[in-house]
Amino acid sequence: MVAVKMKATWRLLSYIFTISLGGAVVGIDLGIIATTLAQDAFNNYMFPPGTKNVTSLTGAIVSMGSAGNAIGCLINGLLLEKLGRRKTLLVSTFFTIVGSAFQTAANGVPLMIVGRFVAGVALGILNPTMPIYISELARPEERARLCGIFGLMIAIGFCLANWIGYACSFASGDVTWRLALAMQIPTAVLLMGLSLFLPESPRWLAQKERYEEFDASLKRIYEDEDEEFFVRSQVEIREQIQLEGAQRSNITVGHALLEIFNLKNIRRTAMAIMVMQVGILSGSLAIQNYQSILYTSLGFKGRQVILISGCYGFMGIVGQIINFYGVSDRWPRVRTMWLGCLILAVMLSILMALSRYYGDGKNMAGARAGVAFIFLYSALYAVFFNSTLYTIAAETFPQHLRGYGTSIAALCQNITAIWLGQVTPFAFDAIHWKYYAVFIGCLVALSAFYGVFLTETNQLSLESIAGAFGDETVAVEKAVAHAQQGEEKRGAEGEKV
């Protein structure tokens, strides 16, 4: 285990917390749909007596959010390259508000689906942007922990969504679900306001050859560091980005989307895609979105289901705090991934056995044990994966590919979420507890993949990670010495004049 001390100043932490507010926006959106689907008033309004294909319509409401996410991910790389990190954050947050307003005002399933889709597109842009932005501001030795703040805010947002849903269940009529859906908006408005004060990523500025702004941004972020740190950081970032730019055959906007699939970068892309897949194939999204079905299958009913969902939300916070203090930047990324998969496979195996023998709800002790393992599963998922997935995906790619590569990995994750969101309610209806075996098999296979193929990136700067993939990197010490000699020479010439 690597012992690392947090060096981030309060100013840098304030920037990270502001960016990470987007995690709360994402968490509230993900959590609110689960509690909304459990509200009788929502179901009576959207699916009045005589409505056909209720299961399909429910799956469509959930899956259209994922479909929007997929489209958002597809265009996110272009926005990040063209607009930068800060403006992309602002644009995506604005459309999150628009989508939430549509959901709140929905007069039927069609407008609800439109609202979920618009918010999904916005979140598909917002979600990958945050870890990319944070990774480009963080020091190598604390990158995973600062990305962990983003993960913590997702967990907090999800927890808040569950308790908002529970509180609103005591209201009457349409207020029970309209007020809950409207509560997606305040955090997004706060994020938009605070984002106006964020610095742009110095690495993006260097990529665009805006070097005066690059220097100013770097000094603003790391105000406490000495001159040696600034010189080293300036030289390493600028020289590596220039080196990678010189090796590109085409630098037109959008061409990087093709580059991530060439022979030089396909390994990175495949690795990032496989890392992001565990976010879905672990079963976490199925349990999260359809936990009301799981609790009902264990014998719980009505408001009990929403209350249990509210308590479930705390587990992600607990797990992310454990990750922050005990796993991030201390454990190697490879160990975190393969071991986490095996532990979750064990948890799901126990949950599958409990669902088989106590799934009829007749034995309350067995039902409570089933709920306890769902809770434990949620905490362990957060310990190993909640923020780790995006940390690895973002740091895997060089500067000009980071937005596109991370977004494509997130796109593939959302494609998996779309079909799984459609299949899950039917699978639970058809094969019940046996459905867990699908996720157990996926976790075991992914564990083997990570153990064999995943490249270690812990404690490496974003520029030096290229060397771990066999790419050419800048000799930092020589480059710094050359830069310092150049400064001394210019100073001597100035004195002569």
Asked if the model's pLDDT at residue 477 lies above 70, the reply is no
Q: What is the pLDDT of residues 71-110, one digit of tens each?
A: 999 899 999 999 999 999 999 999 999 999 999 999 989 9
Residue 96 lies in a domain: yes
What are 490's two structure tokens?
């210019």
What is the arithmetic mean of pLDDT over 420-442? 81
Res. 483 pLDDT band, cuts 50 70 90: low
Give the range among 23-27, 166-170, 298-302, 423-427 with minimum mean pLDDT: 298-302
Tens digit of each residue's pLDDT (9 = 90 or more) over 243-264: 988 888 777 777 888 889 988 8
Counting the structural domains of the chain, the total is 1
In a domain, 497, yes or no: no
Residue 251 belongs to domain with CATH number: 1.20.1250.20
> Predicted confidence band at 302 (pLDDT cuts at 50, 70, 90)?
low
Average pLDDT, the chain: 86
% of the chain beyond a pLDDT of 90 = 52
1 domain-assigned = no
Q: How far apart are CA 495 and CA 497, in angstroms?
A: 5
User: What is the per-residue pLDDT across 309-365, written as a single tens digit (0 to 9) for each?
Assistant: 778 778 889 999 999 999 999 999 999 999 999 999 999 998 888 877 766 656 777
- 3 within some domain: no
% of the chain with per-residue pLDDT over 70: 89
Distance of CA 476 to the CA centre of its chain: 32
Neighbours of 419 (CB within 10 A): 12
Tens of pLDDT, residue by residue over 17-38, are 999 999 999 989 888 887 788 7
Residue 29 lies in a domain: yes
> Is the whole model's pTM more than 0.85, yes or no?
yes
142 inside domain: yes
At 154 the pLDDT is 92
- Over residues 39-54, the pLDDT tens digits come to 888 888 898 888 888 8
- Is 494 a residue whose pLDDT tops 60? no
State pLDDT tens for residues 122-141.
999 999 999 999 999 999 99
In this prediction, residue 470 carries a pLDDT of: 85
Strand, coil or helix: 251: coil
Predicted local confidence at residue 441, as pLDDT: 95
At 119, the pLDDT band (50, 70, 90 cuts) reads very high
pLDDT of residue 473: 85
**171: confidence class by pLDDT, cuts 50, 70, 90:** confident
What pLDDT, on the 0 to 100 scale, is given for residue 40?
A: 83
Note whether residue 496 is domain-resident: no
Can you give the pLDDT at residue 430?
A: 76
Q: What value does the mean pLDDT take over residues 227-239?
A: 88
Domain assignment present for 5: no
| pLDDT at residue 208 is higher than 60 | yes
pLDDT at 496: 54
Domain that holds residue 185: 10-489
Lowest-confidence region among 57-71, 89-103, 362-376, 455-469: 362-376
